[in-house]
Homo-oligomer: A and B are copies of this chain.
Amino acid sequence: MAEVTLLSLPASPFAMSVKMALIEKGVEFATVEENYRASGKSELLVKVNPVTKQVPVLLHRAKPIWESLVILEYVEETWKAQGTQLLPGDGYQRALARFWSNFVITKTGLLIMKRVGDEQLKARDQVLEMIRLMDSEWSKPEYGKPFVFGDKLSLADLALAPIASWKVTFETLGKFEFPDARTCPRMALWLDAIENHPTVQSAILAPDLNLENANIIQKLIKDNKIKF
């Protein structure tokens, strides 16, 4: 097995964030793509992550690291001297980067995807409220642009960047359009920069493939065959 191996799942936004971090750091890595639908969880995944049994798992010299934000911190620390610095140099900005990376996951994450019907529209409204909040906060002087803290990707950007793959899916399922430059100028600037960043482009699943996957999973949720 390679010195650095990532257990991933093609549509997992959490795995996409880790891929981006490794690319930004210039770390060579092998990828093992899980396929839950075809065959359930792999023996390897259950063996290296007996606690949550979820991707992403980073195997570094055979030691497993679990949970995307924990892995992002580990990548930044382990390869500190090379590639992009994923945490700002300023201590207060580091705290803000950690806050936002956790916020987008715990406060909304994949809610639109996990719900159906009216609950899905409620989740959509919650996501819209979050986008407005971010637009307002990220306009303050302690932040930069076009990314959250300036012209380089940080941990805060990486946690949210998989939206470049998921946006079409969210818009289609939630029956809405993401706020544009008139209503949320800061977020529109950020999203444009993210969607055009080569690291983001090379780490995400194509938006149409993502929607295709999502439609299959939505059908399984509606038929009560799976539950998040």
Contact = CB atoms under 8 A, between A and B. Distances in A.
A67 interface: yes
A106 B68 CA distance: 14
B99 A70 contact: yes
A88 to B, nearest CB: 12
Interface in A66-117: 66-67, 69-71, 73-74, 77-78, 91-92, 94-95, 98-99, 102-103, 106-107
Contact of A70 (B52, B65, B102, B137): B102
Contact of A77 (B91, B133, B137): B91
A84 to B, nearest CB: 19
Contact of A92 (B50, B51, B52, B63): B63
Contacts of A52: 103, 107
Interface in A38-71: 50-52, 63, 65-67, 69-71
Q: Which of A77, A78, A98, A133 has the most CB of B within 10 A?
A: A98
B63 A99 contact: no
Interface of A: 50-52, 63, 65-67, 69-71, 73-74, 77-78, 91-92, 94-95, 98-99, 102-103, 106-107, 133, 137
Given A50-B133, A52-B103, A70-B99, 13 more contacts: A50-B137, A51-B103, A51-B133, A52-B107, A66-B99, A67-B98, A67-B102, A70-B95, A70-B102, A71-B95, A73-B98, A74-B95, A77-B91
24 contacts: A50-B137, A51-B137, A52-B103, A63-B92, A65-B99, A66-B99, A67-B98, A67-B99, A67-B102, A69-B98, A69-B102, A70-B95, A70-B98, A70-B99, A70-B102, A71-B95, A73-B94, A73-B95, A73-B98, A74-B91, A74-B94, A77-B91, A77-B94, A78-B91
